[in-house]
Structure formats: structure tokens, C-alpha cells
A and B are shown apart, each in its own frame.
Chain A
Amino acid sequence: MENNELISKLKAIIKPYIQDEDAFKNLSEDTDFVKDLKINSANLVDIILDIEDEFDIRLENEDMEKMLDVKSAMAIVNTKLAG
């Protein structure tokens, strides 16, 4: 999947959970879910479930532990889609 398309899909998934609008507007691959977007860490599991539904993939606990920013989320989704 093209990076732009993937980022826009991830943005749509993350949007309901963000607590910092400015950081969300300036979202880049380096944006951190908790530190930048101020997402409640409890909601990370909800984001995981939404990603699973959107891309029809299954994410394991290890994937979840790594998925702390946009870049790592993109990498994991791409790996799963390729797999």
C-alpha cells in the first residue's frame, strides 16, 4: 500500500482517540501516539482492534508492544499485509 494511503487510513482510525488537535493536524511518520497525540494508553488496544478491522489482519501482543508511533504502525501493517 502507498504510504500516503496508509497514513490517511491510520489517521482516520486514530482520530477519535486523540487529545491534541495540533499534533494531529501535523501528523507525520514520527508522531508518537501517547507523547504527541496524548492518546490515553488504555485506548491503544482499541486502536489495535480498529486497525485489525480496517485491514482485515490480526495483531499479536508483540506487535502491539511495538506500535507506539505512526512509523511503527505503518511497518507492522505493511508486514502483515505482505504476509
Chain B
Amino acid sequence: MKNRVVITGLGVVAPNGVGVAKFTEALKNGTSGITFHQQLKDLNFSCQIGGIPNISEALQSKYFTDLQLRGFNSSGILYGCIAGIDAWKDAGFNINAESELDADTGLIFGTGTSGVEKFREAIYKLDEGNVRRLGSTVVLQTMTSGVSAYLSGMLGLGNQVTTNSSACSTGTEALLMGLERIQHGKAKRMLVGSCSDHGPYVWGGFDAMRVMTYKHNDSPKEGSRPMSATASGFVPGSGAGALVLESLDSALKRGATIYAEVLGGAVNSGGQRQGGTLTAPNPTAVQHCIVKAMENSGVVAHDIDVINGHLTATSKDGLEVENWTKALHRKGNEFPYINSTKSLVGHCLAAAGAIECVASVIQLKKQFIAPNINCEDILPEIAALVHFEKIPQQKIETTFNTIIKASFGFGDVNACVVFKKFTL
């Protein structure tokens, strides 16, 4: 018998809102966090807009000591630690440097690459023959598990502490890995999430692939257009999301606030076969992942009320919606509501899954469906499959029980999770 698992804490650092309260308001109001960045223009980027969370120095100092901030230059770790600490406190825990080791709580916090700006600094020094002057924190800031190392130490976590990496499905995969650990009794609580650095050194490779939009440098807030006929590529984002997963037993014993239940999910790969490549998904595998996620959760397609899609605003949105219709055997009027958080925050890459899982859980807990912005002109191939009312342009307040969230990543990898409104 698997343990039931619930969510008892949330934290988020998103381009359109830092902290759960501000992010919730931004979701409700359809507030875009996309802005123009002169640095990208100066570096001759085609796409000169992006989503960067607004973190003041004063806010940083609430989470990091002066010593930790000396020579610190890793935005992903910064975002990850803020989101992680917020989630931990939100779940009702304190932070105390002298606390007992918490052997029942672990951490799976994913990322794509860590501390690229710090790595760049180091490479310049190193190439000048100055390796001896790198300082003591280059390894910690640039190792992929850096965020997990910083965060677990701040909290004193003593169960498994690790970092996963599966491109843009990283955050959703981290959640599912934490889920399994609690389901199987190996931990009582898992802090899960993911983060991504901001800036040209992370985003440049995508710009070079011409998968980011270059058509909205003068209209950044209209740039991220998932499901739109005039979508022209994704807008890069950054940030972090974090969730405290907890066994139902532990949550009830503590009297913790429960946001939602994680019913289950699935991860798989399309193996870069049947249309799948390093950069494109195998549609059969995507559908299989969605079907397996529902099976694993003990729900049927008819139970799904809302879909929070991957939906990036590249040429693959139509295929994704088609995959949902096939996996659920539902379309037109019968299709669930569907939205893309990326219309508001851009594509936060390795952080996307976690930020969007947080967005999904907030919508479920607060019983609203966030608007999709910038898709007044729905892509015809999507409009042919799904009734336009199922793609909300305005916030919808409604009662619903189940939201399904999927994330897909380079390397043809998929992750899908089902959240349900909590009832005993």
C-alpha cells in the first residue's frame, strides 16, 4: 500500500511575481513578467526579451549571509534557495542553523546547468593562468547539485539530497521522484523543485537555434504567445519553484495546511524514435506518458478538469494539443480547460516544470483557472481540435477537482503529474 502524498508548502520565484502571494495575483490578473533586456540587444541576440525575477539586494540578504554572498554569482542557486526556503517556512517549519538533523526529510532540486556566470568568471581567470585565484566557491556554484548543496545545508535535511536534470521536464520530474520516495516510505517529506539561471549564457544557445521569438523586442509583454496563430518562438525565462511534499500521515499529525494531493504521475522518453528527435517529441510517447500518469493516479480521462500544458509558443503547440486530445479521447466541447503558464513568465527552461507545478497547485487550491494571454488568435490547428472556450482568455472562477500538468524536454523526455483537491 503506497502512502498518500500531499503538498504542504509552496515557494516560487517567477518573472511575474516573487513569493506565492504575488505570483497568485499575477496568475489571476494575467500579468506578464516579460521585459526588454538591453544586454541581449548589446550582444546581438535576435530575441532581446526575457523573464527575470525581480530580487532586490535587501531580499537576498534575508536568505543569504554576507559570507554566502561574497563572490556569489549564480542566479539559479539564488532563485532556488529563495523558493525552497519559502516553501519550507510555508509548510510550517523554522530555519535554525543549530537544528537537529532531519533524517525524515530529503531534497530533490533540479536544474539544467548551474552558475554559468560564475563559470564564465572562472574561465577568464583560468585562461589567464590564474587558476590559483578562483576562490573557494567556484565548484559549489557551478556543480549541477549546487542548489541542493546550498539549500539542504540551510535547512539541515538528512534524507536523500540530490539534483536531477532532464531539460525542460526537470521540475516535474523532481516532483515525481520525491513523490515516489514518500509513497514507498523512504522519506516523510521531500522538498522538490527546480531552478534556472537567467541571462545570455543560458539563453544564447536557444537564440542560435532560432527557437526564440525575434518579433516582439518592442512589445515584450506580447512576446510569449502559446497556442496563438502568431506564435513565433518561445521567450526565455528563469526562476525557481519549490514544493514541500509530505506523507498524509505526517501532514495530519502536524496539523499542516494541505494545498492539494499528488495522486501520481509518469515519466518516460520517446527514445528519439517515431518522429522524436533530440529536440522534438515522439507523439506516441507523449500520449503514453499522459495515459500512464492517469493510470498511476487512479483517474480516468473524464476526471480531468484542467490541463496545465507545456505549450511553449514554438511550432510544437499544435502537436501537443493533438496529443492531449488523443491521450484523453476528448476534444471540442468535451475537452478540459487548458492553459499555459508560459504566456505570463516565458519558458523558464529547467525551472519551468516546478514553477508551473506551483501555478497548477495554486489554481487548484484557490479554485480558479488562470488566463492565457496573447492567444486571442488561436492557432487554427488547435481551434479545429478544441472549443475556444476551453482556452480561457480571462480568469475563470469555478469549482474543480483535478488538474494535470505535463512537461517535455530536449532529449525527448516527458513528465506528467496529476494533482487533486484534497479531501480526506
Chain A positions within 8 Å of B, measured between CB atoms, are 16-17, 42-43, 45-46, 49, 52
Are A49 and B70 within 8 A (Cβ)?
Answer: no
When C-beta atoms are compared, the residue in chain A nearest to B66 turns out to be: A16
Interface of B is mostly: loop
CA distance A45 to B70 in the complex (A): 13
Chain B positions within 8 Å of A, measured between CB atoms, are 66-67, 70-71, 133, 135-136
Are A16 and B67 within 8 A (Cβ)?
Answer: yes
User: Total A-B pairs in contact (CB under 8 Å)?
Assistant: 16
CA distance A45 to B135 in the complex (A): 6
Are A16 and B133 within 8 A (Cβ)?
Answer: no
Are B66 and A46 within 8 A (Cβ)?
Answer: no
A49 CB contact (under 8 Å) in B66, B67, B133: B133
CA distance A45 to B254 in the complex (A): 44
CA distance A44 to B210 in the complex (A): 45
CA distance A16 to B66 in the complex (A): 7
CA distance A5 to B321 in the complex (A): 71
When C-beta atoms are compared, the residue in chain B nearest to A41 turns out to be: B136
Chain B residues, Cβ within 8 Å of A52: 133
CA distance A67 to B66 in the complex (A): 24
Most buried by B among A17, A46, A52: A46
Are A17 and B67 within 8 A (Cβ)?
Answer: yes
CA distance A17 to B70 in the complex (A): 10
When C-beta atoms are compared, the residue in chain B nearest to A16 turns out to be: B67
Chain B residues, Cβ within 8 Å of A43: 67, 136
Are B133 and A46 within 8 A (Cβ)?
Answer: no
Chain B residues, Cβ within 8 Å of A46: 70-71, 135-136
Are A16 and B70 within 8 A (Cβ)?
Answer: yes
CA distance A43 to B65 in the complex (A): 14
When C-beta atoms are compared, the residue in chain A nearest to B71 turns out to be: A46
CA distance A49 to B133 in the complex (A): 7
CA distance A18 to B141 in the complex (A): 21
Chain A residues, Cβ within 8 Å of B71: 46
Known: A16-B70, A43-B136, A46-B135. 5 other contacts (CB 8 A): A16-B66, A17-B67, A45-B135, A45-B136, A49-B135
Are A42 and B136 within 8 A (Cβ)?
Answer: yes
A-B contact pairs, 9 of them (CB 8 A): A16-B66, A43-B67, A43-B136, A45-B135, A45-B136, A46-B135, A46-B136, A49-B133, A49-B135
When C-beta atoms are compared, the residue in chain B nearest to A43 turns out to be: B136
CA distance A46 to B135 in the complex (A): 5
Q: Nearest Cβ in chain B — how far from A79, in angstroms?
A: 19
Q: Nearest Cβ in chain B — how far from A18, in angstroms?
A: 9
When C-beta atoms are compared, the residue in chain A nearest to B133 turns out to be: A49
Chain A residues, Cβ within 8 Å of B133: 49, 52
When C-beta atoms are compared, the residue in chain B nearest to A53 turns out to be: B133
CA distance A83 to B67 in the complex (A): 32
Chain A residues, Cβ within 8 Å of B135: 45-46, 49
When C-beta atoms are compared, the residue in chain A nearest to B135 turns out to be: A46
When C-beta atoms are compared, the residue in chain A nearest to B67 turns out to be: A16
Q: Nearest Cβ in chain B — how far from A69, in angstroms?
A: 19
Chain A residues, Cβ within 8 Å of B67: 16-17, 43
Chain B residues, Cβ within 8 Å of A42: 136
Chain A residues, Cβ within 8 Å of B66: 16
Q: Nearest Cβ in chain A — how far from B66, in angstroms?
A: 6
CA distance A17 to B136 in the complex (A): 12
When C-beta atoms are compared, the residue in chain A nearest to B139 turns out to be: A42
Q: Which 4 A-B pairs have the closest CB atoms?
A: A42-B136, A45-B136, A46-B136, A46-B135
Q: Nearest Cβ in chain B — how far from A40, in angstroms?
A: 8
CA distance A17 to B66 in the complex (A): 9
CA distance A52 to B135 in the complex (A): 12
CA distance A43 to B137 in the complex (A): 9
CA distance A49 to B67 in the complex (A): 15
Q: Nearest Cβ in chain B — how far from A80, in angstroms?
A: 15
CA distance A46 to B71 in the complex (A): 10
CA distance A77 to B136 in the complex (A): 21
Q: Nearest Cβ in chain A — how far from B176, in angstroms?
A: 34
When C-beta atoms are compared, the residue in chain A nearest to B69 turns out to be: A16
Chain A residues, Cβ within 8 Å of B70: 16, 46
CA distance A34 to B136 in the complex (A): 16
Q: Nearest Cβ in chain B — how far from A27, in angstroms?
A: 17
Chain A residues, Cβ within 8 Å of B136: 42-43, 45-46
CA distance A76 to B93 in the complex (A): 47
Chain B residues, Cβ within 8 Å of A49: 133, 135
CA distance A43 to B136 in the complex (A): 6
CA distance A17 to B69 in the complex (A): 11
Q: Nearest Cβ in chain B — how far from A83, in angstroms?
A: 19
